[in-house]
Amino acid sequence: MGSGFECNILKRKAMINKIKRVILYTFSIYLLGSCSDFLDRNSLVGLSEGDFWKSEQDAVMGANALYEVNREFTNSIVMYGMMDDFTDISYQSWATGLTTGLFPANASLYSNSWGIFYKGIYRANTLLKYVPDIQMSDDVKDRTLGEAKFFRGYYYFKLWDYFGAVPLYEQAMNVDEAYKARATDQEVYQFIVDDMTDAYALLPDSYGQSDKGRATKWAALAMRGKAHLWAKEYGKAAADFKELMENSDRQLLGDFYTLFRAAGNNSSEIIFDVQYVAVQGYGIATDRNYGNARGSTTGSQRTRPTPKLVNAYEMKDGTPFDFDNFTNANGTVFDPNNVADWRDEASVRRLFEDRDPRMHQAVVVPWSTFVGQDGLEYLYRFPVITTDPLAYTPVWANGSYAWRKFVETGSVYTLQDNMPINFPLIRLADVMLMYAEAQNEALGAPDQRVYNAIDAVRSRADMPGLPEGLSKDEMRERIRHERMVELCGEGQRYSDIRRWRIAQDVVDGVWMTEFTGVNIRQRGFPDHYYLWPIPQSERELNPLLTQNPDWE
């Protein structure tokens, strides 16, 4: 650590000296330093327009600031517990948030997210204004302009996903000019498509080691495909995903488990992610929020998988899991709502044998092991035994599943809020399942290409392919199931169940429960929750902003 740390300090001092010579106006300044990793390169959010934007280095620093905004949003939702907590597959242990249907329209989550995205858009517009006039390498100029187009389109996509149609700003404006009415859905969609099309043309398809983590043309193509999919332009979406699958260098990583820990950073499957390092202030808080009491950082299990998710994992032969196929200690049908049935080790072990391997790779279940503090292997005995030094002791001891996904094992990393796990935003398995969805919706019945895409994801998990002869409706349900178990804990399901318009069906009125059936908290999802409210603070500043339905 010595030489890297010294290099880090020298770089930061150099940047501080430079900043002292510049007048700051519109942006905050973030100093990131590292000798090798792209994440920790010097990064300015913004400088005086007269004194900055003069050199290639300025352009690169301006582009780096776009990544900092993305990291800011990811940090905030991980601290909150990930978007999946607002769905049927995981839940918040403490804060109710969006889970009860009683979240106020003036909640800071809405205003903070709105502000983060528009901050990123402003930075992108500023870069697009000044970089074309800088004398610099054509390749680097194209790349930085492509990054600006990518992130502007990406932040507009996030706004569109959560808030619906929003004001569109193509230029960096002064505060007194930034009062526009909301565009139409079609206009926002087309704006995103146009930005991603430009980004695709400008960005490289890969980078050297020192620039790992930057947006590529494949990230832009994936996001254009997502915009088409969200707009129900299924043929266009399928075409974009197909091009990525066939022409990019991305490949499924053989080991699903490794994808979600530091060892899987920058793997062949990742198309776009948020980069983190094990340095105070530059890591991610997954180990606190996803982690458990036996981990090296003593996590709080703020987010927990639901019994619905665990029960959704199929048997190894591809048949659905069903409690009716299992018996308790008395030889009668296992009743998951009877605490006594969970007290028999042999009966409970059978429940979790011969299941989809992704279950054990994503979730800690009773009578499984977890490698935690000091590299020791702990056994999750239930009922929980707190006196056994080698017993796994979850924070919630009355019947709780815990995440294994995004939780480091052993004691290599000890900074609770600063784990070096890159957080995936787009990975190939996601793209393949979106392709299968788009292709299925575009056709009258699923063709072999739909089967091939989803079966490839299942095959990586060592699961059998789907049965032949599925109808369009049947395939739709299988794809939705596959997305649920493959992408759990990654925050994708919150957007999925809203765009599919099934959120009320799977969330509203449903109780969060322990796996023993004990009720914890009832969920709520009113109809107006499909869109977030336009923040009142923004409406007070801009009278042209109309509110989303039923949020008044």
* DSSP 8-state assignment for residue 236: H
511 membership: H or E segment, kind and range: strand 511-513
Verify that 184 and 307 share a domain, yes or no.
Answer: no
Verify that 294 and 404 share a domain, yes or no.
Answer: yes
Verify that 148 and 58 share a domain, yes or no.
Answer: yes
Verify that 198 and 292 share a domain, yes or no.
Answer: no
Query: Strand pairing of 511-513 and 270-274?
Result: unpaired
pLDDT score for 374: 87
What are the structure tokens assigned to 163, written together?
A: 């808030």
What are the structure tokens assigned to 424, written together?
A: 């995936």
**Domain membership flag for residue 489:** no
Q: Exposed, middle or buried: residue 271 (CB in 10 Å: 0-12, 13-18, 19+)? A: buried
Rg of the Cα atoms in the chain: 24
Domain end position, chosen among 421, 451, 479: 421
Cα-to-chain-centroid distance, residue 9: 31
Count other C-beta atoms under 10 Å from residue 102's C-beta: 10
**Domain membership flag for residue 289:** yes
**Domain membership flag for residue 254:** no
427 membership: H or E segment, kind and range: strand 423-427
pTM of the model: 0.90
pLDDT score for 244: 98
Residue type, 155: Y
**Domain membership flag for residue 93:** yes
Residue 319: name the closest of 362, 365, 354 by CA: 354
Verify that 194 and 290 share a domain, yes or no.
Answer: no
**Domain membership flag for residue 473:** no
Residue showing tokens 């300015």 = 44
pLDDT score for 552: 82
Separation of alpha carbons 205 and 203, rounded Å: 7
- Does residue 522 sit in helix, strand or coil? strand
Task: Give 107's contacts (C-beta < 8 A, 6+ positions apart).
Answer: none
Domain region containing 92: 52-203+534-541
pLDDT score for 81: 57
pLDDT score for 80: 61
Query: Could you tell me if 241 and 435 are in contact, meaning their C-beta atoms sit under 8 angstroms apart?
Result: yes
First to last CA, the chain: 54
- Does the CA dihedral 433-439-442-444 come out positive or negative? negative
Q: For the packed helices 234-247 and 428-442, what is the interaxial angle rounded to 10 degrees?
A: 140
Torsion angle (degrees, nearest 10) of CA 47, 48, 49, 52: -60
Verify that 175 and 294 share a domain, yes or no.
Answer: no
**Domain membership flag for residue 178:** yes
Query: Could you tell me if 533 and 110 are in contact, meaning their C-beta atoms sit under 8 angstroms apart?
Result: yes
pLDDT score for 465: 98
β-sheet bridge partners, residue 427? 270
513 membership: H or E segment, kind and range: strand 511-513
Verify that 178 and 64 share a domain, yes or no.
Answer: yes
* Number of separate domains in the chain: 2
| pLDDT tens digits in sequence order for the chain, 552 residues long | 343 433 433 333 333 333 222 222 233 333 233 333 444 434 334 445 667 999 999 999 999 999 999 999 999 887 665 799 999 999 988 777 788 888 889 999 999 999 999 999 999 999 999 999 999 999 999 999 999 999 999 999 999 999 999 999 999 887 777 789 999 999 999 999 999 999 999 999 999 999 999 999 999 999 999 999 999 999 999 999 999 999 999 999 999 999 999 999 999 999 999 999 999 989 999 888 898 989 888 888 889 999 999 999 999 999 999 999 999 999 999 999 999 999 999 999 999 999 999 999 999 999 999 999 889 999 999 999 888 999 998 888 999 999 999 999 887 888 888 999 999 999 999 999 999 999 999 999 999 999 999 999 999 999 999 999 999 999 999 999 999 999 999 999 999 999 999 999 999 999 999 999 999 999 999 999 999 999 999 999 999 999 999 998
Domain end position, chosen among 421, 450, 470: 421
Verify that 298 and 408 share a domain, yes or no.
Answer: yes
Task: Write the CATH number for 103.
Answer: 1.25.40.890
Residue type, 175: V
425 membership: H or E segment, kind and range: strand 423-427
Verify that 58 and 196 share a domain, yes or no.
Answer: yes
Verify that 294 and 197 share a domain, yes or no.
Answer: no
**Alpha helices of 392-465 — where are they, by DSSP H?**
428-442, 448-460
Domain end position, chosen among 421, 447, 480: 421
**Domain membership flag for residue 390:** yes
Query: Could you tell me if 202 and 146 are in contact, meaning their C-beta atoms sit under 8 angstroms apart?
Result: yes
**Domain membership flag for residue 385:** yes
pLDDT score for 419: 92
What are the structure tokens assigned to 432, written together?
A: 């393949």
β-sheet bridge partners, residue 32? none
Task: Give 369's contacts (C-beta < 8 A, 6+ positions apart).
Answer: 377, 378, 379, 380, 392
pLDDT score for 504: 96
